[in-house]
Amino acid sequence: MQTALIILGFTFTLFSFLPLITSPLWWIRVLDFPRLHVAILLTGVLVAYVSMFGIQGPSEMIMVLVWVLAILNELRYIINFTPLMKVEALRTEKENPSNSFTMMIANVRMVNRKYDRFLERVKEAHPDMLIMNEPDQEWHDHVCKVLDEAYPYSIKKPLDNTYGMLLWSKNKLHDSDIRYLVEDGIPSFYTVVELPGGDKFCLFTVHPQPPRLMLNTETREAELLIIAKQAKKAPYPAVVAGDLNDVAWSKTTKLFKEISGLIDPRVGRGFYNTYNAYIPVFRYPLDHVFYDPQFRLVGLRRLEKFGSDHFPILITLNYEPHREYAQEHPRADQEDKQEANELIQEGLEKGEERNQEKQGRDGL
């Protein structure tokens, strides 16, 4: 038993410190996700070991100290997403926000065919804008009649590779564009949304590839950071939304915020875990909304599941540019900018390599 606890302790310690390595290797980056789980499990191992065997000498004291440091290392990432910390995004103080919009983001899971349950969630939430990740042509065909009647504006790119995207809006859309920033077959949307009062903001929607077996994250990092730079230079205040396939506390997301200058409404409030809807003990915040400090938060909540492995998330923002500087503005220093440029270049090269591989397979 003692040997088993020592092995478990050092395994979880390795899981804690490995993500400190700046590397796109999938087996390293996937360890960004379970920081809370590793902290809980390692705490359990630590308590069990000390209560059962005590601390007999200097070597065990050092071992236990290393385990404590590993636990603290995990907690320093996730603590920002608990009520113990100060909120980053302030709530509106207006009783009746008049320049607001509500947005629903939902990864529908392409193989999920519970279209009616999804439409029930949309009807219950009645958002002004709806972003769907992973829809294929069947999804589009089953929901478009209902949604086209309710939402006069849309951008549509259904795909059968799990990277399709659909956007519906009650607000006017201008200069809409479907972009392939890094990899062919993985689109992102850009549009300028006009609020009822005439004010405008730039909306970027994104769904990069996740880290998974034998698939590293160079292209994910590049796509997110390209979007961050575009959001920073946008002609109107920016909102970035979608399934980012990254957790809120990762180094990539932190760099994304610094480069873009956008804020995260979950800081100081909670995780708002959206994946995996099927497995309660393994859930992570993968579906995100980041926005310019010129907006104030009206409401943020996770909706009930509808058959997908993701929960939908719903956010309401109010445009209050005169109160912009009351909120934190993430900022990038020169080192951050250099790192972002290097990651973008590395990701673009990997994306081109994958594009050529795909073209070669298609040509066979």
pLDDT digits (tens, 9 = 90+) for 285-340: 999 999 999 999 999 999 999 999 999 999 999 999 998 889 988 999 999 999 99
Q: Which residues pair with 132 in a beta bridge?
A: 106, 166
The reply to whether 58 and 162 lie within a common domain is: no
Q: Is residue 331 part of a domain?
A: no
The reply to whether 104 and 178 lie within a common domain is: yes
The reply to whether 76 and 132 lie within a common domain is: no
pTM of the full predicted structure?
0.95
Number of domains in the chain: 2
Nearest to 234 by CA among 206, 261, 208, 254: 261
pLDDT tens-digit map of 250-282: 999 999 999 999 999 999 999 999 999 999 999
Final residue belonging to a domain, choices 46, 81, 116: 81
The reply to whether 21 and 152 lie within a common domain is: no
The reply to whether 38 and 127 lie within a common domain is: no
- In terms of Cβ atoms closer than 10 Å to its own Cβ (0-12, 13-18, 19+), residue 223 is buried
Q: Domain range holding 6?
A: 2-81
Q: Is residue 157 part of a domain?
A: yes
pLDDT tens-digit map of 153-203: 999 999 999 999 999 999 999 999 999 999 999 999 999 999 998 999 999
CATH at 214: 3.60.10.10
The reply to whether 129 and 195 lie within a common domain is: yes
Q: Is residue 361 part of a domain?
A: no
Q: Is residue 113 part of a domain?
A: yes
The reply to whether 75 and 120 lie within a common domain is: no
The reply to whether 268 and 192 lie within a common domain is: yes
